Amino acid sequence: MKKTTIAVFITAALMSLTSCSDKNTPSESTVVTTAPPVTETATEPETEAETVPPRKKVEESDYFGKWIPNKIIVDEDVYEYTYMDIDLKYLYQLQINEDGTAEMGHSVPNCEKNSYNWLFISGMIEMNGESDMSVYGSMPYDELILTDGEGIKIYMEHTDEFEELPEIRYETAQDYNGDITFPELSVEKVDISSSEFVGKWECDFYETDGVVFRDEMYDMPLNALFRMELSTDGKAKFLVGGGDEDAIINDYTWELTANGCAVLCEDGESIGILRIKNDTLYLDESNEISHFHKVDEFSHFDWDSLADNASEQ
Protein backbone atom coordinates (compact mmCIF):
# COMPACT_ATOMS: atom_id res chain seq x y z
CA MET A 1 0.00 0.00 0.00
CA LYS A 2 1.15 3.56 -0.47
CA LYS A 3 2.20 4.83 2.92
CA THR A 4 1.51 8.44 1.94
CA THR A 5 -2.03 7.60 0.89
CA ILE A 6 -2.78 5.70 4.08
CA ALA A 7 -1.30 8.37 6.33
CA VAL A 8 -3.26 11.08 4.55
CA PHE A 9 -6.49 9.08 4.74
CA ILE A 10 -6.15 8.28 8.46
CA THR A 11 -5.32 11.88 9.31
CA ALA A 12 -8.20 13.21 7.22
CA ALA A 13 -10.62 10.71 8.75
CA LEU A 14 -9.60 11.54 12.30
CA MET A 15 -9.78 15.28 11.68
CA SER A 16 -13.21 14.83 10.09
CA LEU A 17 -14.51 12.88 13.05
CA THR A 18 -13.23 15.33 15.65
CA SER A 19 -14.58 18.29 13.70
CA CYS A 20 -18.05 16.78 14.09
CA SER A 21 -17.72 16.88 17.86
CA ASP A 22 -19.04 19.76 19.94
CA LYS A 23 -15.67 19.93 21.69
CA ASN A 24 -13.06 22.38 20.50
CA THR A 25 -10.10 20.23 21.56
CA PRO A 26 -8.96 17.25 19.51
CA SER A 27 -9.70 13.77 20.82
CA GLU A 28 -6.95 11.80 22.55
CA SER A 29 -6.90 9.28 19.69
CA THR A 30 -5.98 11.93 17.12
CA VAL A 31 -2.32 11.59 16.21
CA VAL A 32 -0.32 13.75 13.81
CA THR A 33 3.35 13.46 13.08
CA THR A 34 4.05 17.20 13.19
CA ALA A 35 1.97 19.22 15.61
CA PRO A 36 1.14 22.84 14.77
CA PRO A 37 2.57 25.56 17.01
CA VAL A 38 0.40 26.41 20.00
CA THR A 39 -1.36 29.73 19.48
CA GLU A 40 -4.46 31.38 20.85
CA THR A 41 -6.32 30.33 17.70
CA ALA A 42 -5.72 26.67 16.95
CA THR A 43 -5.03 25.86 13.32
CA GLU A 44 -5.51 22.46 11.74
CA PRO A 45 -2.27 20.74 10.71
CA GLU A 46 -1.76 20.46 6.99
CA THR A 47 -2.18 17.03 5.48
CA GLU A 48 1.35 17.25 4.04
CA ALA A 49 2.74 16.84 7.56
CA GLU A 50 1.74 13.18 7.40
CA THR A 51 3.45 12.34 4.12
CA VAL A 52 6.60 10.23 4.02
CA PRO A 53 9.50 10.38 1.55
CA PRO A 54 9.00 8.45 -1.68
CA ARG A 55 10.70 5.07 -1.97
CA LYS A 56 14.15 5.36 -3.47
CA LYS A 57 15.04 3.88 -6.85
CA VAL A 58 17.11 0.85 -5.88
CA GLU A 59 19.92 -0.60 -7.96
CA GLU A 60 21.37 -4.08 -7.51
CA SER A 61 24.73 -2.61 -6.46
CA ASP A 62 23.08 -0.80 -3.52
CA TYR A 63 22.93 -4.15 -1.72
CA PHE A 64 26.63 -5.00 -2.06
CA GLY A 65 28.82 -4.93 1.04
CA LYS A 66 28.69 -5.58 4.77
CA TRP A 67 25.60 -4.88 6.89
CA ILE A 68 24.89 -4.87 10.63
CA PRO A 69 21.61 -4.30 12.52
CA ASN A 70 20.63 -1.06 14.20
CA LYS A 71 17.13 -2.22 15.15
CA ILE A 72 15.38 -5.57 15.49
CA ILE A 73 11.61 -6.03 15.79
CA VAL A 74 10.16 -9.33 16.98
CA ASP A 75 6.38 -9.09 16.91
CA GLU A 76 5.72 -6.16 19.27
CA ASP A 77 9.17 -6.08 20.90
CA VAL A 78 11.63 -3.48 19.60
CA TYR A 79 15.38 -3.77 20.24
CA GLU A 80 17.34 -0.68 19.22
CA TYR A 81 20.70 -1.01 20.97
CA THR A 82 21.07 -4.49 22.40
CA TYR A 83 19.42 -7.89 22.32
CA MET A 84 19.80 -9.94 25.53
CA ASP A 85 22.60 -7.55 26.58
CA ILE A 86 24.48 -8.18 23.31
CA ASP A 87 25.25 -5.18 21.13
CA LEU A 88 23.31 -5.48 17.86
CA LYS A 89 26.47 -5.01 15.80
CA TYR A 90 27.47 -8.59 16.66
CA LEU A 91 24.21 -10.12 15.43
CA TYR A 92 22.90 -10.98 11.94
CA GLN A 93 26.10 -9.79 10.30
CA LEU A 94 25.37 -9.92 6.59
CA GLN A 95 27.75 -9.77 3.65
CA ILE A 96 26.25 -9.51 0.17
CA ASN A 97 28.72 -10.27 -2.59
CA GLU A 98 28.68 -9.15 -6.21
CA ASP A 99 28.84 -12.77 -7.43
CA GLY A 100 25.30 -13.50 -6.19
CA THR A 101 26.31 -15.13 -2.91
CA ALA A 102 25.80 -13.93 0.66
CA GLU A 103 26.64 -14.99 4.22
CA MET A 104 24.85 -14.10 7.43
CA GLY A 105 25.34 -15.09 11.04
CA HIS A 106 26.02 -13.98 14.58
CA SER A 107 29.54 -13.04 15.58
CA VAL A 108 29.32 -14.91 18.87
CA PRO A 109 31.37 -17.92 20.02
CA ASN A 110 30.58 -21.24 18.31
CA CYS A 111 28.09 -19.73 15.88
CA GLU A 112 28.29 -20.70 12.21
CA LYS A 113 27.18 -18.42 9.40
CA ASN A 114 24.57 -19.41 6.84
CA SER A 115 25.30 -19.23 3.12
CA TYR A 116 22.85 -17.97 0.51
CA ASN A 117 22.45 -17.36 -3.19
CA TRP A 118 20.56 -14.19 -3.87
CA LEU A 119 18.43 -12.74 -6.66
CA PHE A 120 17.57 -9.14 -7.43
CA ILE A 121 13.80 -8.99 -8.03
CA SER A 122 12.25 -5.66 -9.02
CA GLY A 123 14.21 -3.69 -6.43
CA MET A 124 14.15 -6.32 -3.67
CA ILE A 125 16.46 -9.25 -2.96
CA GLU A 126 15.54 -12.86 -2.30
CA MET A 127 18.25 -14.76 -0.44
CA ASN A 128 17.84 -18.53 -0.79
CA GLY A 129 19.63 -20.79 1.63
CA GLU A 130 19.69 -24.46 2.48
CA SER A 131 16.56 -26.53 3.20
CA ASP A 132 14.40 -24.34 0.94
CA MET A 133 14.59 -21.39 3.35
CA SER A 134 14.58 -17.81 2.07
CA VAL A 135 15.08 -14.30 3.43
CA TYR A 136 13.73 -11.16 1.77
CA GLY A 137 15.35 -7.74 1.85
CA SER A 138 14.40 -4.31 0.58
CA MET A 139 15.65 -0.73 0.71
CA PRO A 140 12.64 1.59 0.73
CA TYR A 141 14.96 4.37 1.89
CA ASP A 142 18.63 4.08 2.89
CA GLU A 143 18.39 1.18 5.33
CA LEU A 144 18.29 -2.46 4.32
CA ILE A 145 15.32 -4.20 5.95
CA LEU A 146 15.33 -7.99 6.21
CA THR A 147 12.08 -9.76 7.01
CA ASP A 148 10.35 -13.10 7.39
CA GLY A 149 6.99 -11.59 6.43
CA GLU A 150 5.24 -12.39 9.71
CA GLY A 151 6.70 -10.33 12.51
CA ILE A 152 10.50 -10.34 12.48
CA LYS A 153 12.26 -7.38 10.87
CA ILE A 154 15.90 -6.40 10.98
CA TYR A 155 16.90 -2.85 10.07
CA MET A 156 20.50 -2.75 8.84
CA GLU A 157 23.19 -0.21 8.01
CA HIS A 158 26.44 -0.46 6.09
CA THR A 159 29.71 -1.10 7.94
CA ASP A 160 33.33 -1.32 6.82
CA GLU A 161 34.26 -4.28 9.02
CA PHE A 162 32.57 -6.85 11.25
CA GLU A 163 33.54 -7.21 14.91
CA GLU A 164 33.76 -10.41 16.95
CA LEU A 165 32.03 -10.55 20.35
CA PRO A 166 34.61 -11.45 23.04
CA GLU A 167 33.82 -14.78 24.69
CA ILE A 168 33.88 -13.31 28.19
CA ARG A 169 31.18 -10.79 27.26
CA TYR A 170 29.03 -13.54 25.74
CA GLU A 171 29.40 -15.62 28.89
CA THR A 172 28.41 -12.63 31.01
CA ALA A 173 25.27 -12.13 28.90
CA GLN A 174 24.43 -15.81 29.30
CA ASP A 175 24.93 -15.66 33.06
CA TYR A 176 22.43 -12.81 33.26
CA ASN A 177 19.86 -14.04 30.70
CA GLY A 178 20.29 -17.82 30.69
CA ASP A 179 20.49 -19.65 27.38
CA ILE A 180 20.34 -17.07 24.60
CA THR A 181 18.42 -17.86 21.45
CA PHE A 182 18.15 -15.59 18.44
CA PRO A 183 14.97 -15.28 16.33
CA GLU A 184 15.27 -17.31 13.15
CA LEU A 185 14.83 -15.11 10.12
CA SER A 186 13.63 -17.24 7.22
CA VAL A 187 10.68 -17.98 4.97
CA GLU A 188 10.03 -21.66 4.37
CA LYS A 189 9.31 -22.68 0.79
CA VAL A 190 5.72 -23.86 0.33
CA ASP A 191 3.92 -25.63 -2.48
CA ILE A 192 1.12 -23.24 -3.34
CA SER A 193 -0.75 -22.23 -6.48
CA SER A 194 -1.51 -18.70 -7.61
CA SER A 195 -5.26 -19.44 -7.34
CA GLU A 196 -4.97 -19.46 -3.54
CA PHE A 197 -3.96 -15.79 -3.63
CA VAL A 198 -6.85 -14.78 -5.89
CA GLY A 199 -9.85 -13.23 -4.17
CA LYS A 200 -10.93 -10.60 -1.67
CA TRP A 201 -8.98 -10.04 1.56
CA GLU A 202 -9.68 -7.93 4.67
CA CYS A 203 -7.11 -6.77 7.21
CA ASP A 204 -7.18 -7.80 10.88
CA PHE A 205 -3.61 -6.92 11.94
CA TYR A 206 -1.39 -3.95 11.07
CA GLU A 207 2.11 -3.29 12.41
CA THR A 208 4.43 -0.42 11.57
CA ASP A 209 7.89 -0.15 13.12
CA GLY A 210 6.81 -2.15 16.16
CA VAL A 211 3.52 -0.31 16.75
CA VAL A 212 0.73 -2.89 16.52
CA PHE A 213 -2.97 -2.51 15.80
CA ARG A 214 -5.31 -5.52 16.08
CA ASP A 215 -8.82 -5.45 14.61
CA GLU A 216 -9.08 -1.65 14.75
CA MET A 217 -7.01 1.53 14.44
CA TYR A 218 -8.16 4.68 16.22
CA ASP A 219 -11.71 3.27 16.51
CA MET A 220 -11.77 2.39 12.81
CA PRO A 221 -12.11 -1.35 12.07
CA LEU A 222 -9.15 -2.71 10.13
CA ASN A 223 -11.34 -4.99 8.01
CA ALA A 224 -13.09 -1.88 6.66
CA LEU A 225 -9.98 0.30 6.59
CA PHE A 226 -7.59 -1.91 4.57
CA ARG A 227 -8.84 -4.30 1.88
CA MET A 228 -7.18 -6.02 -1.02
CA GLU A 229 -8.38 -7.86 -4.09
CA LEU A 230 -6.08 -10.04 -6.20
CA SER A 231 -7.23 -11.16 -9.64
CA THR A 232 -6.18 -13.99 -11.95
CA ASP A 233 -4.71 -11.56 -14.51
CA GLY A 234 -1.95 -10.52 -12.09
CA LYS A 235 -3.60 -7.28 -11.01
CA ALA A 236 -4.02 -6.20 -7.39
CA LYS A 237 -6.34 -3.55 -6.05
CA PHE A 238 -5.83 -2.06 -2.60
CA LEU A 239 -8.81 -0.25 -1.08
CA VAL A 240 -8.37 2.15 1.81
CA GLY A 241 -11.29 3.36 3.87
CA GLY A 242 -14.40 2.10 2.14
CA GLY A 243 -16.02 0.01 -0.58
CA ASP A 244 -15.56 0.28 -4.32
CA GLU A 245 -17.54 3.50 -4.57
CA ASP A 246 -15.91 5.64 -1.89
CA ALA A 247 -12.54 4.02 -1.10
CA ILE A 248 -9.12 5.33 -2.00
CA ILE A 249 -7.95 2.75 -4.53
CA ASN A 250 -4.34 1.91 -5.39
CA ASP A 251 -3.59 -0.39 -8.33
CA TYR A 252 -0.65 -2.81 -8.35
CA THR A 253 0.48 -6.01 -10.04
CA TRP A 254 1.51 -9.28 -8.43
CA GLU A 255 3.40 -12.38 -9.46
CA LEU A 256 4.07 -15.74 -7.78
CA THR A 257 7.71 -16.60 -7.09
CA ALA A 258 9.39 -20.01 -7.07
CA ASN A 259 9.29 -20.41 -3.27
CA GLY A 260 5.53 -19.87 -2.94
CA CYS A 261 5.55 -16.17 -2.13
CA ALA A 262 4.26 -13.43 -4.40
CA VAL A 263 5.85 -10.10 -5.24
CA LEU A 264 3.63 -7.01 -5.14
CA CYS A 265 4.79 -4.34 -7.59
CA GLU A 266 4.04 -0.74 -8.51
CA ASP A 267 5.31 0.57 -11.85
CA GLY A 268 7.61 -2.42 -12.15
CA GLU A 269 9.21 -1.89 -8.72
CA SER A 270 8.65 -4.38 -5.92
CA ILE A 271 7.01 -2.80 -2.86
CA GLY A 272 6.14 -5.87 -0.84
CA ILE A 273 5.99 -9.62 -0.42
CA LEU A 274 2.77 -11.64 -0.12
CA ARG A 275 2.68 -15.08 1.47
CA ILE A 276 -0.06 -17.40 2.75
CA LYS A 277 0.31 -19.44 5.91
CA ASN A 278 -2.48 -21.13 7.89
CA ASP A 279 -5.17 -19.36 5.79
CA THR A 280 -3.67 -15.94 6.62
CA LEU A 281 -2.30 -13.66 3.91
CA TYR A 282 0.77 -11.77 5.08
CA LEU A 283 1.71 -8.54 3.32
CA ASP A 284 5.22 -7.38 4.16
CA GLU A 285 6.15 -3.88 3.02
CA SER A 286 9.53 -3.60 4.75
CA ASN A 287 8.66 -1.42 7.74
CA GLU A 288 4.99 -2.45 7.68
CA ILE A 289 3.37 -5.87 8.04
CA SER A 290 -0.35 -6.57 7.57
CA HIS A 291 -2.38 -9.76 8.04
CA PHE A 292 -5.49 -10.46 5.97
CA HIS A 293 -8.23 -13.09 5.93
CA LYS A 294 -10.17 -14.08 2.81
CA VAL A 295 -13.84 -13.16 2.42
CA ASP A 296 -16.45 -13.91 -0.22
CA GLU A 297 -17.62 -10.29 -0.19
CA PHE A 298 -16.26 -7.23 1.56
CA SER A 299 -17.97 -6.50 4.88
CA HIS A 300 -20.32 -3.57 5.11
CA PHE A 301 -19.36 -0.77 7.45
CA ASP A 302 -21.24 2.46 8.11
CA TRP A 303 -18.54 5.12 8.06
CA ASP A 304 -21.08 7.77 9.08
CA SER A 305 -21.38 6.00 12.43
CA LEU A 306 -17.86 7.11 13.33
CA ALA A 307 -18.85 10.75 12.90
CA ASP A 308 -22.02 10.13 14.90
CA ASN A 309 -20.02 8.59 17.74
CA ALA A 310 -17.58 11.49 17.72
CA SER A 311 -20.40 14.04 17.92
CA GLU A 312 -21.80 12.31 20.99
CA GLN A 313 -18.53 12.62 22.92
Q: pTM of whole model > 0.75?
A: no
**Segments in the chain below pLDDT 50:** 2-5, 7-8, 11-51
Q: What is the pLDDT, as a whole number, of residue 33?
A: 37
Q: How far apart are CA 271 and CA 252, in angstroms?
A: 9
Q: What is the pLDDT, as a whole number, of residue 303?
A: 77
Please give the angle made by the CA atoms of 81, 274 and 80, to the nearest 5 degrees: 5
86 bridge partner residues: 83
